[in-house]
Amino acid sequence: MKNRLKFNYIVYALAVFTWLSVSSQIAYGQTSKKNTVRLRADYFKIMNDHIYFDIKASSKIDKQTIGVAHIDILVSNIVNDDEIELGTVKTNMEGTCKFTLKSLSTLKVDSTNTYNMRFSFKGNDAFKRTSKSVSFKDANIVAQLTEKDSIHFIQATLFDASTNMPISERLLNVQVQRLFRPLRIGPEFNSTDNNGTIIVPIEKDIPGVNGNLTFEVVLNDSDDFGTVKALVNAPIGIPIVDESTFDERTMWSPRNKTPYLLLILPNLVILGMWGLIIYLTLNLFKISKP
């Protein structure tokens, strides 16, 4: 009887021990090795064009922040507790990706005219699951080129798209599109007036290909409207003149564009010398003939 009890006791102890170790293994494997991912999504709207979200996934590993590459981010539109899935994007080597939509019409707003987006990552072996919510309202910028006293201006008005009311006291940037980064036009801070409008003069001497310039009026990274950008094409720039010597015959051109003097003179000398050498070689043959 006593032995039996001891035996049972041992079995139970063994079972508990096994269960504990197995479950701790499972728990250990699941939580302590995985890193957290921080998601960031910025909303951009190009007027009369498309909208997109710049998504960045990063993680702090060994005290260094690195981009999380090649993970799938699910993009969805949250409407009154419904999650409408829109698509999936995969991050690149640097941990960034871009999700583009033709327009906001494919999305639905909630009762406050706000668009709610959710960007989620369902996790993998190395990283924990995470998601990020982004909310924004739709705003419009209407921009045009105007002229007064032979000075050109960019005039732009900021509207709340849902109410169509102008929004005042917002800072808009006016810039001209350039390679790498746009160049600011006018003062650093342009605050929209009571009519939601700004007007900025354009300097006369901005160069552009064939004189074409593209101006941007931007509401930059606002909390409620994201980033909204309006483009204005204006052929008011100074046409670019190609100053390169690429088409000319120079000392540094490739061989199909050698300067004429260098083509003619040396070749004359070579021809002269080798002409004589050939003549002399022929003389050798003449000598050898009896």
- CA-based nearest residue to 37, from 8, 63, 4, 67: 67
Q: How far is the CB of 80 from other proteins (least distance, A)?
A: 18
Is 13 or 262 the residue whose CB approaches other proteins more closely? 262
Q: Chain-centre distance of CA 122, in angstroms? A: 24
Q: Say if strands 197-201 and 151-160 run parallel, antiparallel, or are unpaired.
A: antiparallel
Out of 36, 245, 248, 271, the residue judged to bind other proteins by CB under 8 A:
245
Out of 23, 106, 113, 146, the residue judged to bind other proteins by CB under 8 A:
106
Out of 38, 40, 98, 204, the residue judged to bind other proteins by CB under 8 A:
98
Measured CA to CA, the distance from residue 18 to residue 11 in angstroms comes to 10
Out of 6, 38, 40, 50, the residue judged to bind other proteins by CB under 8 A:
50
Q: How far is the CB of 84 from other proteins (least distance, A)?
A: 9
Out of 100, 113, 114, 195, the residue judged to bind other proteins by CB under 8 A:
100
Is 21 a residue that touches other proteins (CB under 8 A)? no
Measured CA to CA, the distance from residue 159 to residue 195 in angstroms comes to 9
Is 61 a residue that touches other proteins (CB under 8 A)? no
Enumerate residues 198-237 that contact other proteins by CB under 8 A.
Answer: 206-209, 214, 231
Which structure tokens are listed for 59? 């993680």
Query: Exposure pattern of 156-191 as b/e (b: 16+ CB <10 Å)?
Result: bbbbbeeeeebbeebebbbbbeeeeebeebbeeebe
- CA-based nearest residue to 185, from 147, 139, 152: 152
Is 183 a residue that touches other proteins (CB under 8 A)? yes
Measured CA to CA, the distance from residue 110 to residue 108 in angstroms comes to 7
Which structure tokens are listed for 142? 């209407």
Out of 182, 201, 222, 236, the residue judged to bind other proteins by CB under 8 A:
182
Enumerate residues 63-82 that contact other proteins by CB under 8 A.
Answer: 74, 76
Q: How far is the CB of 32 from other proteins (least distance, A)?
A: 26
Q: Say if strands 139-148 and 151-160 run parallel, antiparallel, or are unpaired.
A: antiparallel
Is 262 a residue that touches other proteins (CB under 8 A)? yes
Is 280 a residue that touches other proteins (CB under 8 A)? yes
Measured CA to CA, the distance from residue 282 to residue 265 in angstroms comes to 26
Out of 32, 33, 125, 287, the residue judged to bind other proteins by CB under 8 A:
287
Which structure tokens are listed for 273? 């010398």
Q: Which stretch binds other proteins (CB under 8 A): 60-68, 132-140, 180-188, 189-197?
A: 180-188
Q: How far is the CB of 60 from other proteins (least distance, A)?
A: 20
Which structure tokens are listed for 141? 């910028």
Q: Where are the beta strands (DSSP E) in 47-81?
A: 51-61, 64-67, 72-79
Is 149 or 242 the residue whose CB approaches other proteins more closely? 242
Q: How far is the CB of 265 from other proteins (least distance, A)?
A: 10
Q: Are 110 and 79 in contact (CB under 8 A)?
A: yes
Q: Which positions touch other proteins (CB under 8 A)?
A: 49-50, 74, 76, 85-94, 96-102, 106, 177-184, 206-209, 214, 231, 240-246, 251-255, 258-259, 262-263, 266, 269-270, 273-274, 276-277, 279-281, 283-284, 286-290
